[in-house]
Amino acid sequence: GIVVTMLSVIVLIPLASVLVYSLQISPKEFWELIFKENVRNAFLTSVGSSFLAAVINTVFGLIVAWTLVKYEFPGKWLLDGLIELPFALPTAVAGITLSKLYSDTGFFGRTFAHLGIRVSYTRLGIVIALVFVGLPFVIRAVQPILEKMDGQYEEAAFMLGADPKTTFFKVILPELRPALLTGFGLAFARGIGEYGSVIYISGNSAKNKTQVVSYVIMQKLSYIDYASATAIALVMLILSFLILLFVNIVQLKQSQRTNLL
């Protein structure tokens, strides 16, 4: 009873309220709202930037996890601890810091500006912010699998004449694929709903198409337009459920594969 009550208060009732408020507008008004230019562009920006950031995180997250597991070097414990920084750091602080660093006069942005590349207040800045908040998901999903992986598989591949490249893609990567897909899905889901870290670096310009969905929802709430805000939130909720369903299917298939082995 306590579990059901807590689950209802914290999860089920808030989710149900999103659906109830969304039903206050007709289906026609709902689709007109979703396909409105600024809302449509916000979804494209959020989903596109989150997908690209998740792909980048998958590649570099694997590299970082591999380095932490396979190599010993001074300061390894410190680097391993810093992986958790995006979880502990308030996202607004991260957003302000990143927007300053990558502005045209910032430490990193100054170099990019000389090359004719603007980062802050562009979609590129959004991707960088989402890479920052999403990288730990991939690293922490892959790291335990690498630590538990039996080195005999690699030795057997080398003894059979496989080079390091073939060993990685044919022996190691198939074992890491479920963890990589899980980390990708979690980073992707986090990016779609991210607010604090992107709100400053994005610039929130409808003209430049740098508004994200979470900002549009806050904009609707500031206008006391709860029905529109919850309608947009409902679409985000559906996207999040689909991504989590994908993650659960990947984990289920991996569990079945492990049991068969």
pLDDT value for 9: 64
CA atoms within 13 A on the CB side of 230: 16
Question: In sequence order, what DSSP letters do the residues of 205-240 get, joined into one string?
Answer: -TTTT---HHHHHHHHHHTT-HHHHHHHHHHHHHHH
Sign of CA dihedral 250, 251, 252, 258: positive
Query: Residue written as tokens 């607004």?
Result: 92
> Residue 111: how many CB atoms within 10 A of its CB?
12
**Rounded distance, CA 138 to CA 143, Å?**
8
177 or 11, which is more confident: 177
The tens digit of pLDDT for each residue in 139-159 reads: 999 998 888 887 777 777 777
The answer to whether 200 and 212 are in contact (CB under 8 A) is no
User: Which pLDDT tens digit goes with each residue over 123-136?
Assistant: 999 999 999 999 99
pTM of the model: 0.86
- Residue 261 binned pLDDT confidence (cut-offs 50, 70, 90): low
User: Is the pLDDT reported for residue 53 higher than 60?
Assistant: yes
226: Cβ–Cβ under 8 A, 6 or more apart, which residues?
A: 21, 24, 220
Q: Contact 76/82 with Cβ under 8 angstroms?
A: no
CA gap 246, 92 in Å, rounded: 29
Nearest to 216 by CA among 48, 51, 36, 30: 36
Q: Give CA–CA dist 85/136, Å, rounded.
A: 9
What residues contact 79, with CB distance under 8 A and at least 6 apart? 68
Task: Give the residue-averaged pLDDT of 212-237.
Answer: 85
The pLDDT of residue 229 is: 83
> What is the b/e burial string over 158-189, where b = at least 16 CB atoms within 10 angstroms of the residue's CB?
eeeebeeeebeeebbeebbebbbbbbbbbbbb
The pair of structure tokens assigned to 45 is 């920006």
Phi then psi for residue 86, to 5 deg, are -60, -25
